[in-house]
A and B are shown apart, each in its own frame.
Chain A
Amino acid sequence: MKILVTVKRVTDYERKVKIKPDGSGFETEGMNFVPNPFDEIAVEEALRLTKEHGGDVVVVSIGPNDATQQIRQALAMGAQRGILVQAGELDSDAVARVLQKLVEKENPDLVLMGKQATDDDANQAGQLLAGYLGWPQATFASKTEGLESAEEKAQKPGVKVADGWASVAREADGGIETIKVQLPAVITTDLRLNHPRFASLPGIMKAKKKPIEEIPVASLGVDITPKVRVLKYEEPPARLAGVKVADVDELVNKLKNEAKVI
């Protein structure tokens, strides 16, 4: 099977971003960029699926030329080739419509994407893409076995593919829902689908020779006018640090008489 996987270049989620003084965006100087962690889980799942069923993994990133780094990281994990759509910051809707064009060109059996990017936290692109394509979707893919299971240690895919259908255990409200989607389909990944592998040294060496096709976004003929405009960014209201209490007695006293929550 052929799997298209998205990898977005995002600011390192372990570090706090700095907002520009005019609130128009973020300071990029000194920022560290990483592959969106949810997308790494998608890459891992794609590699496990193609190991089991055969086929190729194509990695797509939409972003600046520097996003080549994040594509190479996915190639070093084991994906076969990459596509960089050269573009500035797009909203989720434009991303979905760019991906729709690529899907029409590449004809994959499955599109695997992180459930959200850790920079804009929109959680939309996968569902939008499925909607535009008229494909079924399975969002928030997880697995029933858990990350400590023997299946995970053996690097078995959590998504089970058989007879042209994919069975997906999804993280739903209040439990795990299992659905089956007919391929081709869009699946988005949640945190506990798998532990992504680290790239090996031979993998990193091989990745340098793997092809990355560069496509200027303008050449795709997609209207990328945003449907959602960012007016400004600002710091959230600071929560005032409270007090340290000396012992449990003082804590109970404060909760009863000051906060009045018990």
Chain B
Amino acid sequence: MSNVLVVAEVVGGAVTKATLTSVTFAREAAKRTGGQVHGLVIGQGVGAAATELAKYVSTVHVADDAALKNPIAEAYAQVVKAAAEAAGATVIAMGATAHGKDVMPRAAALMGAGMASDVTGFAGDGWGVKRPVQAGNVIATVEVTTDKKVFTTRPTEFEAAAEAGAAGAVSALSVSVGGLKTQFVSFDAVKSERPQLTEASVVVSGGRGLKEADNFHKIMEPLADKLGAAIGASRAVVDAGWVPNDMQVGQTGKVVAPNLYIAVGISGAIQHVAGMKGSKTIVAINKDPEAPIFQVADYGLVADLFKAVPELLEKL
């Protein structure tokens, strides 16, 4: 019997939804180890986040230290290793966010553990897990064969966990992470009034069919405002510099799974589709009836987007 450790991600003092989706995976894993789910909160002044996470797990380990203020992989990976030992955990999981992808492989190296990235679920009753490869065109079932197993879990593939019956304990974890060869310099947040792309229930995405950057803003922003949606973009549009990098939806960008995804002027390259095909309802508006996006769209409208989107705006 051994435990499962979920590494939390804390943004603005709060535990992220991605963390709670990883708790859902961890509860499944704990059925296999016969142990309990523990949590790990790392940072400075993260007491409130630890108390919050304790509603979902049996014990929260908190490494609260000035040296851990910023999410530096070199430091955090050491804390993950120490926490896994303190928790008696053989399974260590974290959401497959940029942060999780940065920290967890390094932690796996320190622990001598095998790791499966971007896991979308268990394949059966054993340790086989599913994960997308080849830009999402193929699903691999893989098994981590080491005693300690590390996973990052794709946030869009798991429900956020519900609170457990009783709040768990909170336990301080002291880790010395001196001699770091990494220095934090700055963080430039993309400021937006809109919901986060990966957490929004509605996403509207624009592609090359919008023809130029000005149109992207003129057409997509009112539609997003009307629907309370986050705005995404195809890689072509991001590469052209119309919109910032972090708006890219696709296997190499953000993976989203909202209730409603509206693709405007997007042809549907395979790597884009890999980033949005988990959406509940997909709408595609494109003037080319042969565009591959229509193969995954629940509702396809073959039309000139410059007429259709303003009309849609009016009628919503």
A interface residues with partner B (beta carbon < 8 Å): 11, 13, 16-17, 19, 26, 91-93, 96, 116, 118-132, 135-140, 142, 144, 146-148, 165, 167, 170-182, 185, 190-192, 226-236, 239, 241-245, 247-249, 251-252, 254-255, 259, 261-262
A179 touching B271 by the CB < 8 A rule? no
A261-B280 contact given A136-B74, A175-B246, A241-B297, CB 8 Å threshold = yes
A233 touching B137 by the CB < 8 A rule? no
Q: Pick the contact of A261 from B135, B260, B271 — CB < 8 Å? A: B260
Interface of A, helix, strand, loop or mixed by DSSP: mixed
A180-B271 contact given A121-B135, A192-B238, A241-B297, CB 8 Å threshold = no
Interface of B, helix, strand, loop or mixed by DSSP: mixed
Q: Which residues of B contact A247 (CB under 8 A)?
A: 301, 303
Is B180 an interface residue when CB atoms closer than 8 A count as contact? yes
A242 touching B113 by the CB < 8 A rule? no
What CA separation (Å) do A129 and B140 show in the bound complex?
24
In the complex, what's the smallest C-beta–C-beta distance from B258 to chain A, in angstroms? 9
B117 touching A122 by the CB < 8 A rule? yes
B181 touching A136 by the CB < 8 A rule? yes
A252 touching B315 by the CB < 8 A rule? yes
A179 touching B182 by the CB < 8 A rule? yes
A231-B297 contact given A127-B102, A131-B105, CB 8 Å threshold = no
B113 touching A227 by the CB < 8 A rule? yes
B260 touching A262 by the CB < 8 A rule? yes
What CA separation (Å) do A212 and B181 show in the bound complex?
33
What CA separation (Å) do A230 and B145 show in the bound complex?
10
In the complex formed, the residue of A with least CB distance to B269 is A14
B297 touching A92 by the CB < 8 A rule? no
In the complex formed, the residue of B with least CB distance to A195 is B239
What CA separation (Å) do A252 and B131 show in the bound complex?
35
Q: Which residues of B contact A127 (CB under 8 A)?
A: 73, 101-106, 109
A118 touching B246 by the CB < 8 A rule? no
B296 touching A241 by the CB < 8 A rule? yes
B245 touching A171 by the CB < 8 A rule? yes
In the complex, what's the smallest C-beta–C-beta distance from A141 to chain B, in angstroms? 12
In the complex, what's the smallest C-beta–C-beta distance from B141 to chain A, in angstroms? 4
Is B270 an interface residue when CB atoms closer than 8 A count as contact? yes
In the complex formed, the residue of A with least CB distance to B148 is A227
Is B166 an interface residue when CB atoms closer than 8 A count as contact? no
A231 touching B143 by the CB < 8 A rule? yes
B238 touching A92 by the CB < 8 A rule? no
A137-B301 contact given A231-B128, A249-B315, A251-B283, CB 8 Å threshold = no
CB-defined A-B contacts under 8 Å, sample of 25: A17-B138, A91-B114, A92-B105, A121-B251, A125-B105, A129-B109, A131-B105, A136-B74, A137-B102, A140-B102, A146-B241, A171-B246, A175-B188, A175-B246, A179-B184, A228-B145, A231-B141, A236-B138, A239-B296, A241-B294, A242-B299, A248-B308, A259-B298, A259-B299, A261-B280
Q: Which residues of A contact B88 (CB under 8 A)?
A: none
A248 touching B301 by the CB < 8 A rule? yes
The 5 closest A-B pairs by CB, nearest first: A227-B114, A131-B109, A127-B105, A242-B298, A148-B241
Is B173 an interface residue when CB atoms closer than 8 A count as contact? no
In the complex, what's the smallest C-beta–C-beta distance from B274 to chain A, in angstroms? 9
Beyond known contacts A124-B117, A233-B141: 18 more, CB 8 A cutoff: A17-B134, A17-B137, A123-B118, A125-B105, A126-B105, A127-B106, A144-B188, A147-B239, A175-B187, A176-B245, A178-B188, A229-B145, A236-B139, A239-B296, A244-B302, A245-B301, A247-B303, A255-B260
What CA separation (Å) do A173 and B190 show in the bound complex?
9
What CA separation (Å) do A245 and B294 show in the bound complex?
11
Residues 232-247 of chain B, each 1 if its beta carbon lies under 8 Å from chain A, else 0: 0001001111000110
Q: Which residues of A contact B184 (CB under 8 A)?
A: 177, 179
B196 touching A174 by the CB < 8 A rule? yes
In the complex, what's the smallest C-beta–C-beta distance from B266 to chain A, in angstroms? 15
B105 touching A255 by the CB < 8 A rule? no
Q: Which residues of B contact A144 (CB under 8 A)?
A: 188
In the complex, what's the smallest C-beta–C-beta distance from B129 to chain A, in angstroms? 10
A228 touching B115 by the CB < 8 A rule? yes
What CA separation (Å) do A126 and B101 show in the bound complex?
11
B144 touching A227 by the CB < 8 A rule? yes
Q: Pick the contact of A147 from B241, B259, B281, B301 — CB < 8 Å? A: B241
A19 touching B271 by the CB < 8 A rule? no
What CA separation (Å) do A93 and B152 show in the bound complex?
15
What CA separation (Å) do A171 and B79 show in the bound complex?
23
B260 touching A137 by the CB < 8 A rule? no
A172 touching B98 by the CB < 8 A rule? yes
What CA separation (Å) do A26 and B137 show in the bound complex?
12
Q: Which of A132, A177, A182, A234 has the most CB of B within 10 A?
A: A177
B238 touching A178 by the CB < 8 A rule? no
Q: Which residues of B contact A230 (CB under 8 A)?
A: 140-142
Residues 119-141 of chain B, each 1 if its beta carbon lies under 8 Å from chain A, else 0: 00001000010011111111111
